[in-house]
Structure formats: C-alpha cells, structure tokens
Amino acid sequence: MVNTQVTLSGLTLDNPVIPASGTFGYGYEFAEIYDINCLGSFSFKGTTREPRFGNPPPRIAETASGMLNAVGLQNPGIDKVIGEELPKLRRVFHKPVVANISGFSVEEYAECCGRIDREEGVGIIEVNISCPNVHCGGMSFGTSPESAAEVTRAVKAVTTKPVYMKLSPNVTDIAAIARACEDAGADGISLINTLMGMRIDLKRRAPVIKNTTGGLSGPAVFPVALRMVWQVYNAVKIPIIGMGGVTTADDVIEMMLAGATAVEVGAANLVDPLASKKIVEELPHVMERLNIENLTDIIGGAHNG
Amino acid sequence: MRNEVFTLRSNREIAKNTFEMTLSGDTSGIAPGQFVNIRLDGFYLRRPISVCDYSEGSLTLIYKVVGHGTEYMSSLTQGARLDLLTGLGNGYDTAPSGERPLLIGGGAGVPPMYALAKALISEGKMPTVILGFNSAGEVFYEDEFKALISDTYVTTADGSYGIRGFVTDAMDRVRYTYFYTCGPEPMLRAVYGKSVTSGQFSFEERMGCGFGACMGCTCRTKYGNKRVCKDGPVLTKEEIVW
C-alpha cells in the first residue's frame, strides 16, 4: 500500500491533487459527474471584494498544447461567496478548501482574507498577486519583492490560517519574490499563475482575445512552471504548491521531485472534466511503478540527484 | 453533462464548407438546442457543435469549416472514435411556443432548428420555419425541413435561391405565436427588432470548457451575468442585453 498523503502547513491532504482556481468554479459543475471528495482539496474561483463581470468576450483562445484566457477575475464578490457559494460548496465537498483571494489594493487583500479566514471549511488562503488579466492590481503586486511582501504582511496580520502567496511567472527573478514573501511571514508559495501571451486572428488581423493579451496555461507551460518550482524550492524553506500544465500523475511526481509538496491541476480540468479524478486514481499506480512508498519522501528529490 | 465515446458513421459535405456528421453512441440526456463538445486529436480545446438531430443511439451534427479544428473534423472518416461531452447548455424551452411557433435559422444556426422542429411537432404544435443563407451554394436541409414542415421558407442574401434578402424579409409573411432563433449575431439583432412576439435566441461565444467551469463565455443579461455554455446558449428575448 502506498501513502499518497501530504501535509501543507499542518493541513494533511489525502493526496496532493488540487484543482486550480478558475478552472473548477465552486466545484458544483464537477460534482455533477464525480464525487469531488476524492481530491486532496480544491482552490475555488478567485474572489474579490466587489462583484466583477470580468473582461469583454472573446476571453479564450487556443494555442499549441494550451490555451489563453483573459477572464479577468469574474466573480460574485466576497459577500455572495461567503453567503451563497460556500454553503453550497460545503454540501458537495467535505474537506477543507483552498480559498483563492485577489484584490486591487493592499487593504482589499487584507479585508477579504480576514473575512474568508473566519469561514468554516477554509483550510488555506491562497493570495493571488499574479492575475495577468486585470489592468490595475492583480499581477502588479506580484512583480516586485517589496509589494509582494507588503501584501503578505497585511494578510498575515489579519489571518490565522496558512497563507500561500500565488506568484506570477512574468518576472525576472521568481526566487527573490518568493523569498520576500517568506520573510514577510507567508506560510507557503503557490506557483505559477499563467504566462502572458497573445494570438492574432489572421482574417480579422486583430487579436483573438478582446483584452489583447491573456494568460497561457496547459501543457505548453509545464517546463517553465517546473523550472520555477525548482528555483523557488532552492530559495525558500516554506512549502510549495506547484502548478502549470499538470495533466497526468507523472506530471504530479515531476512537480514534487522539483520541490512541490502539493500540485494544482488547471487547464486539464477544462478539456477533460474528469482529469483531476483520473490523476488521483492514477497516482498510486505510478508510485508503485516508481517504487515510491510515501509521497512526501520525494519532495524536492531531484535536487539530490 | 455526460462524457461518452461516439463512433463516426458518416461525414459528408452537404453545402459549401458545410458538413453533416452522423455518429452512434449514447444520446440519453440530449435535448433540442443543446450542444456537444468534441475532443479532437492535436487540438487542445474541444469544439462545441450544436445538436442537429438525435434519436436513441444516433446523433447528427452539422458544422461549418471555419478553422483548423473544423477542417480536421471534416477529414474524419467512418469508424473514427470521438470523445464527446453531451447534454451541454440549457436548450430550447418548448412550453411557451403556442400553437404556431416560428423557427428562424441562419447559416450555421440552421441545424438546431431541426431537432427543435421535431420536438414541437411531437407536441402537436404547427411550426413554420425560415432558413437564411448567403447564397444558393450554401443552402442545406431544405428538403429535410420540408418533409417535416410544409411552411418552410428559404432566403438568400444575394437572391440566388428562394426569397431574396434576409430571414427578416420572410418574417412578414408569417403569423406566429412565438419564435425560436439561432444564427450570426447581426441576424439575431435583426430578428429581435422585427419580432412581434416573445421568443428564444441561441447565442455563440468562444468557450474554454463548455460546461460552466472557466467563465470564458460569460455575457450580461437583464437578470445578471450568464455563462453562454451553461446558463445559455438559449436566452429569452426579455433578458437579452445587446
């Protein structure tokens, strides 16, 4: 019998598989087709203080081995998330969730994180300082060590649950930003958010996405994500949730060998709604094949090789 | 939503750049006005295609070749196995149709009218249908509709077949209790302006997942934001914000 359990800042998960924010809504669409309690956890749709429509359509474009999105943090706002979505979510998912919070000012991050911290069923707060699709706030907080640290400090001051800062890959030195978050008190690091990209429609001679640019995800970004998890593992001591193009249980193992304690699955959920479930089911078989008894033993394992 | 594997039975060009694909597989839970989302080898995102016709074990899709994905679809041959998500979207509601509903399809918006016409007829309604195309070479399914509905009008924008003009030019000739429409957005707007009853519109948008998870296809309505793939693609006339 293999052991798939992992522990993030004192929170033990049955397995390291966590559907990523923005690809799993609040869980209900997936609960229609499988029991999502097989998952380690899941990260719900990024939530802001005010309700947001997001960006005008088209918001989606296909790429080689991936996709671009410029949804722009569409969400019903924290009041409705706490009042309506979380009670509904608790009916279909009985484990602690990862609460993904975004904002447009340090105060907004602190206010929303402070409120979500008090909610039953929230296991980890994942602070998104890396959304590439909003025009102020979002990614701008995640592109300098100083502002990343400022958000971290503000959130840590008003929360009791583990705080994971979700970082952008659209930076020159991801390790410096991760270190700044750790020094400011972050309990962990989530990475990577999407990479900024674009596509042009040849017939219209105009960007496919109305927002011009979007965030690239899917298998195309996996090697970049893996490299950044590797670099951050070398830079910090706090746990890492690795993500970016993860599609198979092999990818999960690879992310963990690079230094991730848990792994989020994003775009794969959108093309195959059963993707996360399949990864959970595949994982013990892959572990047996690779002679892994305890999954925690392999975290960062490639750094010794 | 269901995830089913279908087997391709036929795939033929029935008009300019327009293909009819028949598939066998589990069609339970499919309703008129819904769509399926097809996984294609070598393409990351699925392709959403509206349901044209279905019966137990058999599904008919009509699609227009508009890009690499649909071009690849047109090259598939008998026996190909396809991974489909079925039962997607809300579909048309036949309850408010009245005795004489009008069905208005334009171009790639014609196919969903076919399953809807069958459903309405099976409920004892007497639908009229208007099919709009750009030119004679693009006309398809006229005979199939006529076999169901004697009041079938065909319009072409260039006048090379049927009534010259747009679907709205044929709407003057029809008395109807309610309407259902699907087609390009300029046509939907024109139908909205011309229509004298309530009705339902089916919309199209670039989608990520097709089942309500990614918020990639959200639109505004008078009753709040709706996901075209999950809360739509059918919206009522009263809720549309242009």
What is the set of domains in chain B, with CATH numbers?
Answer: 2-88 (2.40.30.10), 95-202 (3.40.50.80)
Which residue of B4, B205, B209 is the best one to mutate when testing the A interface, meaning the one whose CB has the most A CBs within 10 A? B209
Positive or negative torsion for Cα A16, A20, A23, A24: positive
A-chain residues near B207 (CB < 8 A)? 60
Name beta bridge partners: A69: A60, A215
The verdict on a CB contact (< 8 Å) between A271 and B1 is no
For the ranges A53-62, A129-138, A187-196, which has the lowest average pLDDT? A129-138
Does the residue A63 lie in any domain?
A: no
A143-167 burial code (b ≥16 CB/10 A, e <16)? bebebbbbbbbbbbeebebbbbbbb
Q: Which of B43, B214, B225 sits opposite A270 (nearest CB)?
A: B214
The verdict on a CB contact (< 8 Å) between A57 and B43 is no
Of A53, A24, A45, which is closest to residue B224 (Cα–Cα)? A53
Chain A CA closest to residue B48: A271
Name beta bridge partners: A47: A101
Q: How far is A255 from chain B (nearest CA, A)?
A: 21
B-chain residues near A71 (CB < 8 A)? 214-216, 218
φ/ψ of residue A90, rounded to 5: -65, -25
Q: Which of A23, A57, A62 sits opposite B43 (nearest CB)?
A: A62
The verdict on a CB contact (< 8 Å) between B206 and A54 is no
What ipTM score was computed for the predicted complex, to two decimals?
0.94
Q: How far is A146 from chain B (nearest CA, A)?
A: 31
The pLDDT value recorded for residue A134 is: 73
Does the residue A131 lie in any domain?
A: yes
Percent of chain A with pLDDT over 70: 98
Q: What is the pLDDT of residues B219-231, one digit of tens each?
A: 999 999 999 999 9
Kindly state the DSSP code that residue A85 receives in the 8-state scheme.
I
Q: Does the pTM exceed 0.90?
A: yes
The verdict on a CB contact (< 8 Å) between A62 and B218 is no
**Whether A169 contacts A244, CB under 8 Å:** yes
Chain A residues within 8 A (CB-CB) of chain B? 22-25, 29-30, 32-33, 45, 53-54, 57-67, 69, 71, 74, 208, 218-219, 267, 269-274
Spatial separation of the C-alpha atoms in residues B19 and B75, rounded to whole Å: 10
Does the residue A144 lie in any domain?
A: yes
Q: How many residues would you count in chain A?
A: 305
Does the residue A64 lie in any domain?
A: no
B-chain residues near A64 (CB < 8 A)? 44
Going through chain A in order, the beta strands assigned E by DSSP cover 6-8, 11-13, 17-19, 60-63, 66-69, 97-101, 122-128, 163-166, 188-191, 195-197, 200-201, 206-207, 214-217, 240-243, 262-265
The verdict on a CB contact (< 8 Å) between A69 and B211 is no
pLDDT band at residue B162 using 50, 70 and 90 as cut-offs: very high
Report, as residue numbers or ranges, the catalytic residues of A: 131
Spatial separation of the C-alpha atoms in residues B36 and B210, rounded to whole Å: 8
Say yes or no to pLDDT of A304 above 90: no
Q: Report strand pairing: B152-156 vs B163-164.
A: parallel
Spatial separation of the C-alpha atoms in residues B159 and A293, rounded to whole Å: 73
Strands across the sheet with A214-217, in order?
Answer: A60-63, A66-69, A214-217, A195-197
Which residue of A59, A67, A134, A203 is the best one to mutate when testing the B interface, meaning the one whose CB has the most B CBs within 10 A? A59
Chain B CA closest to residue A52: B225
Taking each helix axis as running N to C, give the angle between helix A222-235 and helix A174-183, from 0 to 180 degrees, rounded to the nearest 10: 50
The verdict on a CB contact (< 8 Å) between A53 and B205 is no
Say yes or no to pLDDT of A19 above 80: yes
Spatial separation of the C-alpha atoms in residues A87 and B65, rounded to whole Å: 44
The verdict on a CB contact (< 8 Å) between A270 and B45 is yes
B-chain residues near A218 (CB < 8 A)? 44
**Whether B79 contacts B8, CB under 8 Å:** yes
Does the residue A265 lie in any domain?
A: yes
Q: What is the pLDDT of residues B193-221, one digit of tens each?
A: 999 999 999 999 999 999 999 999 999 99
Residue A138 lies in domain: 6-56+71-196+216-303
Q: Report strand pairing: A11-13 vs A240-243.
A: unpaired
Chain B CA closest to residue A19: B213
The pLDDT value recorded for residue A136 is: 65
Does the residue A123 lie in any domain?
A: yes
Strands across the sheet with B178-182, in order?
Answer: B163-164, B152-156, B128-133, B101-106, B178-182, B199-202, B234-236
The verdict on a CB contact (< 8 Å) between B225 and A32 is no
Average pLDDT value for chain A: 96
The verdict on a CB contact (< 8 Å) between A69 and B45 is no
The verdict on a CB contact (< 8 Å) between B1 and A273 is yes
Preceding peptide of A238 cis, ω within 30°: no
A-chain residues near B43 (CB < 8 A)? 62
A-chain residues near B69 (CB < 8 A)? 62
The verdict on a CB contact (< 8 Å) between B209 and A218 is no
Name beta bridge partners: A188: A164
Does the residue A202 lie in any domain?
A: no
Q: How far is A225 from chain B (nearest CA, A)?
A: 19
The pLDDT value recorded for residue A137 is: 63
The pLDDT value recorded for residue A1 is: 86
Average pLDDT over residues A55-65: 96
The verdict on a CB contact (< 8 Å) between A57 and B205 is yes
Spatial separation of the C-alpha atoms in residues A271 and A282, rounded to whole Å: 18
Say yes or no to pLDDT of A138 above 70: no
Q: What is the pLDDT of residues B92-150, one digit of tens each?
A: 999 999 999 999 999 999 999 999 999 999 999 999 999 999 999 999 999 999 999 99
Q: Report strand pairing: A122-128 vs A163-166.
A: parallel
Q: What is the pLDDT of residues A242-297, one digit of tens each?
A: 999 999 999 999 999 999 999 999 999 999 999 999 999 999 999 999 999 999 99
B6 touches chain A (CB under 8 A): no
Task: Provide the domain count of chain A.
Answer: 1
B-chain residues near A32 (CB < 8 A)? 1
Which residue of A200, A270, A272 is the best one to mutate when testing the B interface, meaning the one whose CB has the most B CBs within 10 A? A270
Chain B CA closest to residue A73: B215
CATH number at residue A156: 3.20.20.70
Structural tokens at position A159: 């929360």
The pLDDT value recorded for residue A140 is: 80
Distances (CA, A) of A233 to A90, A125, B87, B179: 33, 20, 44, 60
**Whether A136 contacts A104, CB under 8 Å:** yes
- Which of A138 and A76 is assigned the larger pLDDT? A76
In chain A, the N- to C-terminal Cα span, in Å, equals 26
Distances (CA, A) of A189 to A47, A228, A259, A263, A267: 18, 11, 11, 11, 20
B-chain residues near A30 (CB < 8 A)? 213
Does the residue A247 lie in any domain?
A: yes
Average pLDDT value for chain B: 97
B-chain residues near A67 (CB < 8 A)? 44-45, 208
The verdict on a CB contact (< 8 Å) between B1 and A29 is yes
Spatial separation of the C-alpha atoms in residues B134 and B156, rounded to whole Å: 5
